[in-house]
Amino acid sequence: MSATPTAGYDAAQTRQQEDDLDRWRFAAEIVEVVLATPSDWSVRIGIFGKWGEGKSTVLRFAEQMLTEKKNIVFSFSPWAIQSWNDLWEDFGNRLLDALSAAKIPFDGTWKKSAKDSGKWLEAKGLGQIAETAAAFFGTGKLYNAAFGVLSRWLRYDGAQIRAIREKLQNRRLVVLIDDLDRCAPELLLQLLLSLRELLDLPGFTFLLAFDDEIVARALAEKNHAWVDGSNFLEKILDFRFHLPAVTEAQKERFISKAIGKYCPFVPNESAKEVQDLLPNNPRKLKALIRSLAALQPQIVRHDPDELNWVDMWLAQMLRLESYPFFERLLKGGTLDKEAGTLYQLLTAPSRNKLQDEGQDKNQSLKQLIKESGVENPEVVQRLIQLIEATRSRSSFKFRYIFELAMRPHAITWKEFRLLYATWATARRASVLADWTARHAVDRAVSRDDVDDELFEAIVVRRNERLSAAAESTSLQEHQSHSGEAGILLEMIEQYLLDLGKLTASRFRKLYGQASYWIGFRKNQNDKALRDQEETLLLKLLSSAPPTLSTELLEVVSPQTWHADLDEGGARRQELREKCATIVAPKAAREAITFMTRDGGNQSLTERGRFSAVKSCLFLPDSLIWKTPLRDELLESVRRGREDFVIYANVRAYFDLLIDGLEHGMDSIGRKEIAAVLANEAFVRCLWETVISRGIQYRMQINFLRARQSLINNGIPEAALALTEELQSRLKEEESRYAQQPPGAAASA
């Protein structure tokens, strides 16, 4: 009796109708050899193939054919068994089940003897591995416990074999042994020897399916005299059959049927575009189809024109070969650097040079593969092949498709299109709020992700409409596209204002879009759109909370602009000034509040951060120094004499100013810092606060040096009064300086 066939995506095929790789014909050839062997002979047949090439399917097919011919067939899989005694007890049990099903009488008393022998060996600590048993019995042949009893029971000239032969007549007893290459090395050698020497029984046929290279290596490791192990296999096996490689026609037929069965949503034609890249291993082909089938819930979220199926196949094949590498590929700009536009830009100018110098164009790719932990040379070459195909065959959507395989986006264009259609009928912010909340729950994603992707979708869609309007040939077409752009701007307004979703990054995208199209105002519709965009930008800035104002000022600050050569340059400057007029006062007040926050001004020491705050506090032409806001700053500085948090911030502010006199600060030069410190009233207030608390001895010299820098910058000494401790330290330093020899003093 055979084991019950398993069902599932990766189960071996059991019906001829399912055979797309001609394994049925291959199995038939093996069965012909079995049936052609004299019925009183024993035969051992090896079926060789790599992992996943269909060895189990061949065994299933052979089982059907042999069973139909009334042969007794049963399966025996030793790979999961770790004990020699358990292995032969399992073999014996399966044999008895098969004999019982065939109504062949047998003596079952051997089972009790086997169990008793096994228990005795285990009690002595000798029953776990084959070598222990061999040493115990003093023989190179394993003659222990279940195996010993079984081999005596199945003696060549014994009663049980005669009974089996008499019942079988011209039929055979066939044992199917699968996955021998996964068998424990301790059992493999002796199992093969047993098949050759102790189970060489009349009428018995053994079909052994395994990877001959793996088994040969394992055998060679056990006995180096066999060199590569193949010599030993020649002694054991009577016939050897190698699974033929999958042909392109077979692969195409296999994929076509698998798509129809498991993922009919995949266009059949798309597979033909990557036919040369599809894996040849049937199990990998099945895994590839499964990975596509698993994407169905994501596929149905998209309109057909959102997906590029060549990208989809490439992404799934890369992911199938190495998930760690695929994961690394999607970090940051790595994918674009290795396969996208950035790769083309980096390699195109130097392509001839690389060829001339013999450099490896895939050097960085190989390093990335190595860092991902891929060591198998075949997998490395496969990954390189797939990346090179991505470079030449992928579309501009390939990153989106690659991400779909890892972490699907929160919103697709199909979902946005349906939302837009619903919202457009009512144009209420509540529609957007309800949809985003519901969609986050339905998709099991965070509300923040939905918010970010929804805004991105609106802006991108609006840019598409603006581009379409600019390229329109008819007035009616222009009005249609520009009209939708206006409606989308209304959607943005509700989203950012009514729902309170305004952030600096979202404002930057909208501001950048408005600045890009600002020169398009010849048509009345275009001019209306420009006015609508400007009105919304100013409204957003007016309603923005103070805590956001400094980030918004960074968006519209002059440093973000380059000289404009087109006709929109003047209008961009005008828009920037209008925006700055609204947000700059709020940002200046927010910069002053840094004095009151724990660690506020200390955070300004980090280069490249808080550029707007630094501009307000350190540039002489900022509103703080040109308006009454200066008095608010001075008042905050004075409060540091009683409030320690403010005092710490004033100290940090003071240190930054002094350091800026020598080195500047980010994009702020030394001259600007010097201009701020030329304000005597401000410096006096600042100095009085920083010296209002006791200063430890080691730090006093820093204060004296800072004071001298201020004096050198034009501040009168009288404005920089010294405390008693600083006066004492100054005298100490002057005395020490006076006692030094002239040369040492000059050197110091």
pTM of the model: 0.71
- Quote the pLDDT of residue 125: 42
What tokens appear for 508 in the block?
């930057």
- Quote the pLDDT of residue 311: 94
For the beta sheet containing 239-242, the strands, ordered from the edge strand earlier in sequence to the opposite edge, are 72-76, 173-177, 204-210, 43-48, 239-242
- Quote the pLDDT of residue 424: 95
Q: How far apart are CA 85 and CA 79, in angstroms?
A: 14
Q: How far apart are CA 485 and CA 458, in angstroms?
A: 10
Our CA dihedral for 739, 744, 747, 748, rounded to 10 degrees, sits at -40
Task: Work out the number of other CB atoms within 10 angstroms of the CB of residue 548.
Answer: 20
Q: How far apart are CA 572 and CA 35, in angstroms?
A: 89
> Residue 370: how many CA atoms within 13 Å on its side-chain side?
6
Task: Give the C-alpha distances (Å, rounded to integers) separating 41 from 165, 200, 203, 374, 516.
Answer: 11, 8, 6, 48, 87
- Quote the pLDDT of residue 166: 76
What tokens appear for 147 in the block?
């195996």
Q: Give me the count of residues in the chain.
A: 748
- Quote the pLDDT of residue 453: 95
Which one, of 554, 440, 559, lies nearest residue 507 by Cα?
554
Residues of the chain whose pLDDT is less than 70?
Answer: 1-15, 80, 82-84, 106-160, 197-198, 223-229, 348-359, 558-567, 740-748
With the C-alpha atoms ordered 314, 317, 320, 325, is the resulting torsion angle positive or negative?
negative
- Quote the pLDDT of residue 224: 66
Which one, of 565, 490, 558, 478, lies nearest residue 526 by Cα?
478
Which one, of 414, 412, 447, 413, lies nearest residue 432 by Cα?
447
What tokens appear for 512 in the block?
């950048």
Q: How far apart are CA 730 and CA 713, in angstroms?
A: 19
- Sorted by sequence, the CB contacts under 8 Å of residue 198 that are 6+ apart come out as 141, 147, 151
End-to-end, the C-alpha distance of the chain in Å comes to 100
Asked whether the beta carbons of 521 and 466 are under 8 A apart, the reply is no
- Quote the pLDDT of residue 271: 92
Q: How far apart are CA 390 and CA 393, in angstroms?
A: 5
Helices (H) and strands (E) in the chain, counts: 39, 5
Between helix 611-618 and helix 546-556 the angle, nearest 10°, is: 90
- Quote the pLDDT of residue 230: 75
What tokens appear for 113 in the block?
């003897």
> What's the distance, CA 730 to chain centroid?
62
